[in-house]
């Protein structure tokens, strides 16, 4: 009898259906290598506490003076608690507001930060300058790895994919972010 009264008042949620943040990726494109890229690397290390990966140009664009294979950008992937800590600071930089168009149909969210100084707790260093960055959040449900793993890969059911609405609801509950329409 006790179990019947519990089930009537509270909806049970399967743990395999609860969304979670898989990773947060920070991308910073400087457009040229050398001193400017090194300064951006120092800024990212101070922001996230992790060494960024240097990304190279995929093709030559003469108009921008970019050559194939030249280092032009930095990327950092954060997971677990480090990802949550940075995400809360990054959302404060955009006033805890995201657009609906920032969400895609697979539960991914992306937004940009114009200046790293907008992130709370950062100070301006005239020697390093100011950089902007893109932040991408990948939201999944447990079991998503089945579709990505190398050995015994399998298809993923529709219920195991994160929808746009689920991602919006999850971020609202986790961080208290406001989602606005266009």
pLDDT of 10 over the 70 cut:
no
Can you tell me the mean pLDDT for 62-85?
Answer: 88
Kindly indicate the confidence band of residue 136, based on its pLDDT and cuts at 50, 70 and 90.
very high
Q: What is the C-alpha to C-alpha distance for residues 57 and 32, in angstroms, rounded to an integer?
A: 9
Residue 109 · residue 79 · CB < 8 Å? no
Task: Enumerate domains of the chain plus CATH numbers.
Answer: 17-180 (3.30.1440.10)
> pLDDT tens for residues 46-61?
888 889 998 888 888 8
pLDDT band at 1; cut points 50, 70, 90: very low
Buried b (16+ CB within 10 A) or exposed e, 106-126: ebbbbbebeebebbeeeeeee
The overall average pLDDT reported for the chain is: 84
pLDDT higher than 80, residue 125: yes
With a pLDDT cut of 70, the percent of the chain lying above it is 93
- Return the half-sphere exposure (C-beta side, CA atoms, 13 A cut-off) of residue 176: 4
Q: Distance between CA 133 and CA 98 in Å, rounded?
A: 15
Q: Which residues contact 93 (CB under 8 A, 6 or more apart)?
A: 113, 118, 119, 120
Q: Which residues pair with 36 in a beta bridge?
A: none
């Amino acid at each position: 009898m006790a179990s019947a009264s519990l089930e009537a008042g509270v909806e049970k949620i399967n743990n395999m259906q609860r969304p979670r943040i898989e990773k947060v990726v920070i991308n910073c494109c400087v457009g040229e290598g050398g001193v400017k890229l090194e300064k951006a690397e120092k800024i990212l290390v101070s922001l996230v506490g992790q060494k960024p990966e240097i990304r190279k140009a995929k093709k030559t664009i003469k108009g921008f003076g970019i050559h194939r294979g030249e280092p032009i950008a930095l990327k950092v992937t954060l997971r677990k608690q480090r990802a949550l800590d940075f995400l809360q600071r990054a959302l404060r930089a955009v006033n805890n507001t995201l657009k609906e168009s920032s969400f895609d149909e697979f539960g991914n969210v992306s937004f940009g930060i114009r200046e790293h100084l907008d992130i709370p707790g950062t100070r301006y260093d005239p020697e390093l300058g100011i950089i902007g960055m893109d932040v991408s959040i990948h939201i999944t449900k447990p079991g998503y790895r089945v579709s990505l793993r190398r050995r015994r890969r399998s298809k993923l059911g529709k219920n195991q994919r994160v929808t746009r609405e689920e991602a919006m609801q999850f971020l609202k509950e986790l961080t208290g972010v406001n989602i606005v329409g266009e």
